Structure 1
Amino acid sequence: MSTFRQESVEDFYEMGEELGSGQFAIVRKCRERKTGLEYAAKFIKKRRLSSSRRGVSREEIEREVDILREIQHPNIITLHDIFENKTDVVLILELVSGGELFDFLAEKESLTEEEATQFLKQILDGVHYLHSKRIAHFDLKPENIMLLDKNVPNPRIKLIDFGIAHKIEAGNEFKNIFGTPEFVAPEIVNYEPLGLEADMWSIGVITYILLSGASPFLGETKQETLTNISAVNYDFDEEYFSNTSELAKDFIRRLLVKDPKKRMTIAQSLEHPWIKVIKRRNVRNEDSCKKPERRRLKTTRLKEYTIKSHSSMPPNNTYINFERFSKVMEEVAAAEESLRELERNKKSFQEDIEALLSIYEEKESWYKEENESISQDLRQIRQELQKTEALKKQAQEETKSVVQAANGLKRRYRKLENHYEALAKQVASEMKFVQELVWSIEREKLQSSEGDGSIR
């Protein structure tokens, strides 16, 4: 079990504004008191009970921390320090303040393939480093591709959010259903063994969107999206790819392959002619004053994609999800969700069941496990309620007994008090009698002594 610093994080870091929040995490800007350097403090809510659904399990937190401790690369966020208190684990991370790559590119009027590929090359370098250590990110998507600082000539890419990253061990079969539907590989959808190849599929989807502003598999519903992924149902619509080179399309085709073993690896992607050609062009351009004609990609659709994705972001199963959307976007998201809810209500219950069965029949065991977990939680809640009712009843009975005992003591006290008063009166009466007797004796003695004196 990993051990973290038990001191108060605020003794070492001055906390600032909130940068974002997720289901079980809050990220705040902070400043180290000793050096004055700025970082991001990620507060992860711990799961208190193993049966609970709230918070992040110790195992998940330790897995993320172990991976962050192992990696050190210019294109990957770095871990600086770790603290722990009763409710949270606090990760002190490198401050990545340049925003999302796609947001940055969408602000431009147009984009050349060379410019786009310069950023893609940084993504590939970061993933290459991870894969060299047998680490799969499993959640590569635009929201997790950030810029360290966008106000510099050549912004640096930073890959973030290692909440569901895993070390792929040889000989250990690993299966899971997680990630963001739009970017997950077919093997995740079909609950098959997972490896580093899942990241390469995600890179293919990211490249497709980067060059076109369209998402290759995104459907009207989550179910439709997963069906498109499983069937590898996509194409290069001329409307979106009229200015895109064949080499770029070939790069995407070699990544969006259903069979993970036939999918291009990270090393092969770095050696792909599209990447190599871009690199050679950049060298020639430095040696020549003549600027060759470049393919320019309009960013209008990319801008539309970023706005739409921010306003209707699907739920993320990781425990960090930066909320950067304006109030207007939130209202748009709420309106879209209301419309989708109305549409869903038009369908019959039987159609919903058939749709779910057609898509999730291969994951029946997983759903059973989830249902059993929920049932167990409900049983536990019922047991707790029953115990509470029993304790309440017992407390009421004990209270009644205490009241009765108190009343009995009160009556006994009054009886003793009356008895005491009677005794006091009796004692007073007897004392008075004794005093009178003593006085009588004293008078007799006095009289006797006076008589004796007169005889003498």
Structure 2
Amino acid sequence: MAGFRQEDVEIYYDMGEELGSGQFAIVRKCKEKSSGTEYAAKFIKKRRLSSSRRGVSREEIEREVNILREIQHSNIITLHDIFENKTDVILILELVSGGELFDFLAEKESLTEEEATQFLKQILDGVHYLHSKRIAHFDLKPENIMLLDKNVPNPRIKLIDFGIAHQIKDGNEFKNIFGTPEFVAPEIVNYEPLGLEADMWSIGVITYILLSGASPFLGETKQETLTNISAVNYDFDEEYFSNTSELAKDFIRRLLVKDPKKRMTIEDSLQHSWIKVIKRRNVRPEESERKPERRRLKTTRLKEYTIKSHSSMPPNNTYINFERFSQVMEEIAAAEEGLRELEKNQRSCGEDVTALLSIYEEKESWYKEENESIAADLSQIKQELQKAQALRRQSQEEARAAMLSANALKRKFGRLENRYEVLAEQMDSEVRWVEELVRTISAENHTRSTSMA
């Protein structure tokens, strides 16, 4: 790969603790030896064979790297360096240590509308920069929206993970089915041409969650979630949106539109009144006389949200994600009291076990599929080897037959050569006899001529 340093990354960086992992990548904290600056090292496992499903293809790695090289924005993670060895490509990235936006909100358990717009404005700024370069992220979700430092009054948002990002080119129709089901746009579900508009749908889902703690399309199964998305089946449940302004709901409605052409663009979103104003508008009359209550994210919805997000993850889930899941469960256990709450916890435990079993079954199925694929490859190689051995035996037999034929021809040629020599000697003898006869006759004729004279 052009531009990738073919050196040992540990010559220049000290590797530290593991920060997380994905299906084919591991992220570790590292420190640059020359400057002492801390970064995040993302080890991407390379796909060794084009027919294999293990690892990331060269084309996909180069696409992610090319996009990261092109972008430079305060709300987007930056690429510092790139190394490559026989098994991995190592991206040295900006260290974003503030954790996920989802975790930050779950810890707070409440969020005002003004705080939501502060976070959302940063997300929109980052996406606006990407879209200005015709880059679609295609995987916008709370897990990929990080905080640079959560222990400051106004945390800065950082968009991460450009593994499935694409540069949209005019005239090139692009279709794919990827992303996280809960956040994908209808055109992805329906395998239709994709563009920058898919990111705007994801922003609509994220905004819905920021304001309510509930997910608009999440179903009991992945299929139900995708069906809800395709049908744009959602509503503003009064239980979660009782204190939400009409401007905020209008913002969400203009993003959760099935037709991509009718969906708000990033420019439209930044110009929307809800984003532009500092103070919330459309406050209900009864709210103007009292301090608005802080809306609390529903812990039951957070729990469901976490379980579903884990069940849709790749087979090798990360420790950090299970740690977050455990923290949410502890908060639920602390908040729920009494017999009724204990009964709910019992049911939730059953759901957790089901979700974890589902993850295990997915992993087991994945390994089984890989084993079957390897077994099929080995069987094919064995058959090809047997064919090669059969051809080799056939060639050897044909060579022996040709050798025998050649020897027979050689013997026959020898016999013919001997006969030719015998015939040649006979011919020489006959020729000498004829020549002698001719001389004799000539001599007699000469004698006769002399005597007659």
**What TM-score do the two structures reach when normalised by structure 1?**
0.71
Question: Residue type matched to 1:18 in 2?
Answer: E
Given the alignment of the two structures, is residue 309 of structure 1 paired with residue 305 of structure 2, yes or no? Answer: yes
1:229 aligns with 2:226: no
The yes-or-no answer on 1:252 pairing with 2:270 is no
Are the equivalent residues in 1 in contact too, given 2:175–2:192 (CA < 8 A)? yes
Indicate conservation of the 8 Å contact 2:7/2:83, yes or no: yes
* Structure 2 residue 322 is matched with structure 1 residue 325: yes
Deviating more after overlay: 232-241 vs 54-63 = 232-241
Distance 2:51 2:14 in 1: 35
Q: Distance in 2 between matches of 1:89 and 1:193?
A: 31
1:276: how far off?
1.4
Mapped to 2, the partners of 1:385 and 1:296 lie a distance apart of: 71
Q: Is the 8 A contact 1:163 1:318 kept in 2?
A: no
Q: Which moved more, 1:197-206 or 1:107-116?
A: 107-116
Give CA-to-partner distance per residue, 1:351-390, whole Å, 9 cap, x none.
xxxxxxxxxxxxxxxxxxxxxx999876534212445789
User: Deviation at 1:101?
Assistant: 1.1
User: Helix, strand or coil: the match of 1:111?
Assistant: coil
Residue 181 of structure 1 aligns with an amino acid whose one-letter code is: P
Return the offset for 1:298.
Answer: 2.2
* Cα RMSD (Å): 3.3
Q: Give me the whole-angstrom Cα distance separating, in 1, the residues matched to 2:23 and 2:64.
A: 16
Q: Please give the secondary structure, in 2, of the residue aligned with 1:43.
A: strand
In structure 1, the partner of 2:297 is 300
- Following superposition, the deviation at residue 297 of structure 1 comes to 3.9
1:70 corresponds to which residue?
Answer: 70
| Equivalent pair of 1:148/1:158 in contact (CA under 8 Å) | yes
Structure 1 residue 380 corresponds to structure 2 residue 377: yes
Could you tell me which runs of 5 or more consecutive residues in structure 1 were left unpaired when the two chains were aligned: 283-290, 342-372, 394-456
Determine if the alignment matches structure 1 residue 53 to structure 2 residue 68: no
Amino acid at match of 2:46: K
CA contact (8 A) 1:25 1:320 kept: no
Q: CA deviation at 1:103?
A: 1.6
Any conservation in 1 of the 2:214–2:302 contact (CA below 8 Å)?
no
Q: Encode CA deviations 1:177-232: one digit per residue, 9 max, x unaligned.
A: 00000000000000000000000000000001111111111111111111110010
Q: Counterpart of 2:26? A: 26
- 1:439 is matched with none
Q: 1:219 to 1:310 in 2, by over 3 A?
A: closer
1:13 partner amino acid: Y
Q: Distance in 2 between matches of 1:209 and 1:42?
A: 29
Contact 2:44 2:88 in 1 (8 A): yes
Q: Residues 135, 272 of structure 1: CA spacing in aligned structure 2 closer, same or farther, 3 A cutoff? A: same
Distance in 2 separating the partners of 1:247 and 1:113: 11
Aligned equivalent of 1:216: 216
Distance in 1, Cα, partners of 2:132 & 2:317: 25
**Which of the numbers 335, 347, 354 marks the counterpart of 2:353?**
335
Q: Could you report, residue by residue, the CA deviation over 1:92-120 in whole angstroms, capped at 9, with x for unpaired residues?
A: 00001101112212222532111111001
**Superposition pairs of residues 160-309 of structure 1, within 5 angstroms:** 160-277=160-277, 279=278, 295-301=292-298, 303-309=299-305
**Residues 247 and 319 (structure 1), Cα distance of their counterparts in 2 relative to 1, 3 Å cut:** farther
Quickly say closer, same or farther: Cα 1:74–1:383, change in 2 above 3 A: same
Higher relative contact order (CA 8 A, sep 6+): 1
Residues 310, 329 of structure 1: 8 Å contact kept = no
2:323 counterpart letter in structure 1: S
Structure 1 segment 113-128 matched on structure 2, within 5 A: 113-128=113-128
Letter in 2 for 1:142: P
Aligned residues: 355
The residue matched to 1:169 in structure 2 has which SS? coil
The one-character-per-residue Cα deviations of 1:263-291 (angstroms, maximum 9, x if unpaired) are 000000000011112x3679xxxxxxxx9
Once the two structures are TM-superposed, the CA of residue 307 in structure 1 deviates from its matched residue by 4.0
Unpaired segments ≥5 residues, structure 2: 282-287, 330-348, 360-369, 391-453
Residues in 2 aligned to 1:212 and 1:130: alpha-carbon distance in whole angstroms: 27
Structure 2 counterpart of 1:409? none
**1:107 counterpart SS class:** helix
Identity of aligned residues (%): 74
**Contact 1:44–1:88 at 8 Å: present in 2 too?**
yes
Kept after mapping to 1: 8 A contact 2:274/2:280? no
Inter-partner Cα distance in structure 1 for 2:357 and 2:269: 41
Residues 220-270 of structure 1, C-alpha deviations (whole Å, 9 max, x = no match): 111111111001011111111111111000000000000000000000000
Match of 2:153 in 1: 153
Bigger mean CA deviation after superposition, 199-208 or 332-341: 332-341
Secondary structure of the equivalent of 1:310? helix
Letter in 2 for 1:92: I
Partner of 1:366: none
Q: Work out whether residues 215 and 305 of structure 2, in 8 Å CA contact, stay in contact via their aligned partners in 1.
A: no
**Alpha carbons 1:29, 1:39 under 8 Å: kept:** yes
Distance 1:162 1:321, change over 3 A: farther
Cα distance in 1 between the residues matched to 2:118 and 2:324:
33
TM-superposed CA distance for 1:66, in Å, is: 0.2
Greater Rg, structure 1 or structure 2? 2
Q: Could you tell me whether the CA contact under 8 Å between 1:51 and 1:377 is conserved in 2?
A: no
Aligned to 1:111: 111
Task: Label 1:75 to 1:58 Cα distance change in 2 as closer, same or farther (>3 A).
Answer: same
Q: Deviations over 1:298-345 (max 9, x none)?
A: 2331x544444334423347999784322973996861236769xxxx
Contact 2:136 2:167 in 1 (8 A): yes
